[in-house]
Amino acid sequence: MVVMLMMSVATFAQSSQAVASPNVGYICNTPLPYKPDSLNVLFVGNSFSIDTAAGLPTIFKDMNIHNVNVYVLYKPGCPIKTHYELFKSREKAYELYRYNYTGDKRLEKKISINEAMSAFKYDVVIFQQYSMESGKFETYEPYLSKLIQAYNTVKIGARTTFAFNQTWAVNSKKKDLYIYGSQEKMYKSICESVKQMKAESGIDVIIPCGTAVQNARNMKSLVIYNELNRDDLHMDNLMGRYLTACTFFEAIITPVFGLNLNDTNCDFGKKSANNQVNYANRNLLKKCARLAVANNYEVSEFINE
């Protein structure tokens, strides 16, 4: 009996070591707030953060949500490692944007990550990786854990929930996609990297934009253009950005305020645009987002039902 118990303890210790790397500081993530008076969110990111947030003002205005501010700390093509290095150097290398029901606004043209992290009392701070490195976990750590530590040295809010924005695989025509082999392989690599990030960092709130996009690309009844991209990398300005905004909404706004994504039925974009969000496709896009939040790491089996 004693021998069996010792074996069980040894097995548990081995499994624990497999989950938590000795070089990574595991955090006990604070739960998302529930029905607060207001919500302040900060993206520490790049152009993919802009793509994720850009559709939110339309949804917030349609649903009369006046108490949410989403801030995006923006530096083009910035990976997690560079965010960490810029925190140490204090270089004013970023722009700071705000998205709320009134629209979008650039608040600062030149600001450091240190200044942005201490500018407001953030309830949620969202990290993400640079797109072409997002499927390579070795580029995440130890820099993500160091960024979390850095944030905690300058924050002014009492409590913060950390989240992670799972980005999307690039367009299948992008030239340097050969790094992964195919769009599908890149998507699966991103999912595996985010799974490992969650296990090793303790960040358990995932915004699965990558899975929402892959759901849409595989939905037979949804007519999309250029794989939802405006180039070979970024979301198109209408359907793509609406989809990622819906994914953010379902992952963050719904659990915080108990609001239903189905209650927004706004159009997005001019009627002449091929990729306008309207009665013909908005419910399909919302379905892609909801299914992604329900299953973060796989194209949903229900996408075509």
**191-222 pLDDT per residue, tens:** 999 999 999 999 999 999 999 999 999 999 99
Give me the mean pLDDT over the 250-257 stretch: 98
- Structural domain boundaries, residue 151: 33-294
Say which CATH number the domain at 270 has: 3.40.50.1110
Tell me if 25 is assigned to some domain: no
Integer CA distances (angstroms), 166 to 221, 265, 282, in order: 25, 25, 22
pLDDT at 26: 67
Query: Who contacts 95 (Cβ-Cβ below 8 Å, separation ≥6)?
Result: 73, 74, 75, 106, 108, 109, 110, 111
Distance CA 280, CA 222 (A): 9
Tell me if 241 is assigned to some domain: yes
Integer CA distances (angstroms), 80 to 63, 94, 139, 217, 288, in order: 33, 14, 8, 27, 27
Q: How many domains does the chain have?
A: 1
Tell me if 288 is assigned to some domain: yes
Distance CA 93, CA 60 (A): 29
pLDDT level of residue 25 (50, 70, 90 thresholds): low
pLDDT at 271: 87
Tell me if 274 is assigned to some domain: yes
- Of the candidate ranges 2-16, 82-96, 178-192, the one whose mean pLDDT is the lowest: 2-16
pLDDT at 272: 84
